Structure 1
Amino acid sequence: MKFLADFFPVILFFVAYKLYGIYIATAVAIASSVVQVAYGWLRKGHVEKMHLITFGILLVFGGLTILLQDRTFIMWKPSVINWLFGAVFLASQYIGKKPLVQRMMESSISVPYPVWRKLNLTWSLFFILLGFLNLYVANDFFIAEQQLIEITGLQQIDFDNCGQHFQGSELEMCNTAHTLEEDWVNFKLFGMMGLTLGFIVLQAFYLARHITENELEGA
């Protein structure tokens, strides 16, 4: 349930994008993140740092997307967030007595300290790679957008209404770019959520193996 709650703004972004396009979807994501933070504060008396960091970055990059009518910012946002999380997990390997993943999970799971360090480093690498993967998917759109800008001379392109602005090869290029944008939106929800869920499952198997070993040694 918490996993879905963490992806709440992303899910609403996906739904709003399919109905109204990327700029309305960005505004919806910002609003849903405000609700997420407010709900945590009202119910628990505090806000999870992950939600607060995500909200701050979303407010900056989403705000720039809407203000400048440039979707580049919102497409970079997942990479920035994942790299920041990766850096925080990595820094906790060397700062403080416990790695971050241990501080988050040790109240419910007990495993040896070296296991926590390995798992923490793995989470750091996962976030960093996920950030690069997001850019890899988004880059195809960036290339298609730049090619259309160079050909048409336009600085802002309405990819949601290609047929109203272009004809012939330019229309085909616009439709291709819009499809690539949709591919990124689909990846943002299904790809990132699926990879994260899969990683959590692998983590559970990894921890279970060490928990079992500890119980056998203590028996």
Structure 2
Amino acid sequence: MKKLLFDYIPLILFFLVYKVAGMHPEASYALAQSFLGPLVAGTGLLPDQGPIMLATVVVIVATVCQILYLKLRGQKVDAMLWVTASIIVIMGSLTIYLHDENFIKWKPTILYWVMALMLAFTQFVLNKNMMRQVMEQQIKLPEPIWARLGLAWIVFFTVIGAINLVVAYVIYAGNLDAWVNFKVYGITALFFVFIIGQSFMLGKYMEEEAA
């Protein structure tokens, strides 16, 4: 539970800053223009871009702080966090520099598709199962089930990346607020539903091991 909360800190801060800044658009625009103005290409930020720019800065800083925190405590930074941090920094920086929200909208899709590619590459090319490496100490599964579990996560990451684009550019095209809500609530709900379904699928193996 503690690790789950730790992983979600940048997302929670992104959402809170975006919502609070959205309640005070003039102040958020002035703050963003003051601090980010020198970092922005062209003529500067548009009046309605304050909330997303401030939220993007916060999610970048929070993610970098996560890594620094683990390093200072002498803990290992797992590969997924390095990948996540790299994508957030790159896409977030482009969002700010080009003052274009499309980069931050694409960020979840790129992140999930990179994860899907990593899982697929390790499973089908290197003959290693990343899900097994992560979960083997908690549960013992037959080899075919590990393979199925890895494939399930590959498909899930691929599909959820595509769903993000459909929501951002079709269902809520031009509605940044609605997309931010989906990013926080919708994607999180999809993860929980998938994990719960996965738990039901693996439940019988946990019972067999306990017996």
Aligned residue pairs total: 181
> Cα 1:11–1:86, aligned 2, differ >3 Å: closer, same or farther?
same
Residue type matched to 2:12 in 1?
I
**Residues 1:132 and 2:132 aligned together:** no
Other structure's SS at 1:69 match: coil
> What corresponds to 1:69 in structure 2?
99
> Which of residues 172, 176, 179 in structure 2 aligns to 1:181?
176
> What corresponds to 1:196 in structure 2?
191
> What corresponds to 2:16 in structure 1?
15
Residue type matched to 1:200 in 2?
I
> What corresponds to 2:76 in structure 1?
46
Q: CA deviation at 1:78?
A: 0.3
> Cα 1:118–1:4, aligned 2, differ >3 Å: closer, same or farther?
same
> Cα 1:142–1:61, aligned 2, differ >3 Å: closer, same or farther?
farther
d(CA) in 1 for partners of 2:106 and 2:146? 30
d(CA) in 1 for partners of 2:66 and 2:188? 18
TM-score by length of 2: 0.80
Determine what percentage of the aligned residue pairs are the same residue: 38
> What corresponds to 2:133 in structure 1?
103
Other structure's SS at 1:93 match: helix
Q: CA deviation at 1:46?
A: 2.1
> What corresponds to 2:206 in structure 1?
211
* 8 Å contact kept, 2:172–2:178: no
Q: CA deviation at 1:86?
A: 0.8
d(CA) in 1 for partners of 2:58 and 2:206? 42
Residue type matched to 1:19 in 2?
V
d(CA) in 2 for partners of 1:70 and 1:3? 30
Structural RMSD (CA): 1.7
Name which of structure 1's ranges 56-65 and 36-45 shifts more when overlaid on structure 2: 36-45
d(CA) in 1 for partners of 2:135 and 2:188? 21
Gaps in structure 2 of 5+ consecutive residues: 22-50
* 8 Å contact kept, 1:61–1:73: yes
* 8 Å contact kept, 2:109–2:164: yes
> Cα 1:193–1:142, aligned 2, differ >3 Å: closer, same or farther?
closer
Q: CA deviation at 1:40?
A: 1.8
d(CA) in 2 for partners of 1:215 and 1:58? 41
Query: CA offsets, 1:198-219, max 9 Å, x none?
Result: 2112222211212324565xxx
* 8 Å contact kept, 2:140–2:205: no
d(CA) in 1 for partners of 2:210 and 2:135? 18
Gaps in structure 1 of 5+ consecutive residues: 144-176
> What corresponds to 1:156 in structure 2?
none
**Residues 1:37 and 2:67 aligned together:** yes
d(CA) in 2 for partners of 1:206 and 1:141? 32
Query: CA offsets, 1:58-86, max 9 Å, x none?
Result: 11110010011100001000000000001
> What corresponds to 2:38 in structure 1?
none
> What corresponds to 1:56 in structure 2?
86
